[in-house]
Amino acid sequence: MTFKTHRFVRRAVLAALAPTAAALLPAMLAPQSAWAQDSTTATPSPEATPEQVQPGAVAESPKPENSLDVHGLYGVDFSTHYISRGLVLEDQGFIAQPYMELGFTLFEDEDAGLSKFTAFGGIWNSLHSNKTDQGLAASDPDTGEGPANLTTDIWYEFDWYVGVSFDFAKAFNLNLSYWEFISPNQGFGTSKNYQAKLSYNDAELWGDGGFALKPYGIVFIETDGKAGSGPDEGIYVELGIEPTLFTVAKEGTYPVALSLPTKVGLGFSDFYEDDEALGYVSVGLKAGVPLAFIPSQYGAWSASAGVYYYYYGDGVDDFNEGTGDGDDDIVGTVGISLSF
């Protein structure tokens, strides 16, 4: 059954959550690294995913050589679905998700226990040809009708964030950030949240073959408004790995890096409906390749594509039934990015 067929059900579910209903965002395993290019190697860039790009992508990974302590990341992803921490927000029409981030290296010393300190800030957007939930947050409580002819009707979501990132003990990164989720088309109320993310780069443990599990954990805390499907502000926890499978044509001009991102999303303290713990489990196959035909003076460009399987838990069942989605989904993505 289609998303449109169930729109009235979804509106009822969202309206029941409260006028400040949520920014219902991605759990983002967003892309974890950016293209790093030197004379011999290239590593995977931020990749298109069915969710949001994680804050701190600039800070967490090496960037193309330059003489600045400022680095940037720009890109756009195109996806068949917009999924927010297991909640299917849109699965019809054209979905484009442009983003931008700047990182400022304030301290760096490879020999120190705290080897790098970075401040960063960025924005992320989701544009939907279906004008998802246009005016829902401003709808009349009696009729359920919202304002018509909004000039921002396709602009479902605008997010901004700021944070700091610490590299320590050679292989660990701690990323602390504050987010605000805003809906220009008034599809949901503004949501304010904090996040802590701890990542571990285990590449050195596996030798020179390029394999790594790259485990990480995220704790996401709602403070005002909702990003989950539960009735009160809660806590979201994400645990994941992104094994590097292998690189095709590793020594060539266009090496294709393949990885298998796997994650589970959990909710606590009413983050999900009925205070259920399991939101979803996801496994994907993604590929990234540098666009080496673009001269390096214009930054490091890359393209990516992925396919992801989502299994939905009890925490998102009712919400996703309202959008016509069953117990699982297959999601496809493509994207392009620039880092400097």
CA nearest to 304, candidates 47, 79, 96, 100: 47
DSSP 145-199: ----S-TTTTEEEEEEEEEEEEEETTTEEEEEEEEEEE-TT-SS--EEEEEEEEE
Residue 2 lies in a domain: no
> Domain of 13: which CATH number?
2.40.160.40
CA 74 to chain CA centroid, nearest Å: 14
Q: Per-residue confidence of the chain (340 residues) as pLDDT tens digits?
A: 333 333 433 434 333 433 333 333 333 333 333 333 333 333 334 557 777 777 777 666 555 666 678 999 999 999 999 999 999 999 999 999 999 999 999 999 988 999 999 999 999 999 999 999 999 988 766 665 666 667 789 999 999 999 999 999 989 999 999 999 999 999 999 999 999 999 999 999 998 877 899 999 999 999 999 999 999 999 999 999 999 888 999 889 999 999 999 999 999 999 999 999 999 999 999 999 999 999 998 999 999 999 999 999 999 999 998 776 789 999 999 999 999 9
DSSP 8-state assignment for residue 41: -
Residue 235 lies in a domain: yes
Question: How open is the CA angle 81-47-51, to the nearest 5 degrees?
Answer: 35
Residue 42 lies in a domain: yes
In the chain, alpha helices (H): 7-17, 57-60, 317-322
* Phi, psi at 181, each rounded to 5°: -110, 125
Residue 45 lies in a domain: yes
Domains: count for the chain: 1
pLDDT at 31: 34
Residue 172 lies in a domain: yes
Helix (DSSP H) and strand (DSSP E) numbers for the chain = 3, 16
| Domain coverage including residue 203 | 7-339
Residue 191 lies in a domain: yes
pLDDT tens for residues 227-282? 999 999 999 999 999 998 889 998 899 999 999 999 999 999 999 999 999 999 99
Distance CA 319, CA 88 (A): 8
DSSP 321-333: HHTT--SEEEEEE
Residue 1 lies in a domain: no
pLDDT at 37: 34
- In this prediction the pTM is 0.81
Distance CA 305, CA 282 (A): 16
Residue 110 lies in a domain: yes
